[in-house]
Structure 1
């Protein structure tokens, strides 16, 4: 699941997604919602000011 890690998904959420996937198609709606929630979080992060990339964040 390298795409998840590159997208900043916490390991616990990746494990949850994998466990749901192993449970089969009946978890499809839950897995889809996890992805939609993460997408919303990424969009919020992109809207936040990033500051000066040359300065370390404190």
Structure 2
């Protein structure tokens, strides 16, 4: 068992909608052959974070 291979890495992710700071300083590393789940209450930013990772938020006009 050697080094962990990182397939997805995100550091210091921040998302703002106008004056609202929706996501603040999120860091995540997801390794090779890893199943990862983002869990939390409604409205906590799970979908927003995933949209940010795949750059879907780049198309939102604020």
TM over 0.5: no
Higher relative contact order (CA 8 A, sep 6+): 2
Higher Rg of the two aligned structures = 1
TM-score, reference length from structure 1? 0.24
**Higher percent of residues as helix:** 1
**Higher percent of residues as strand:** 2
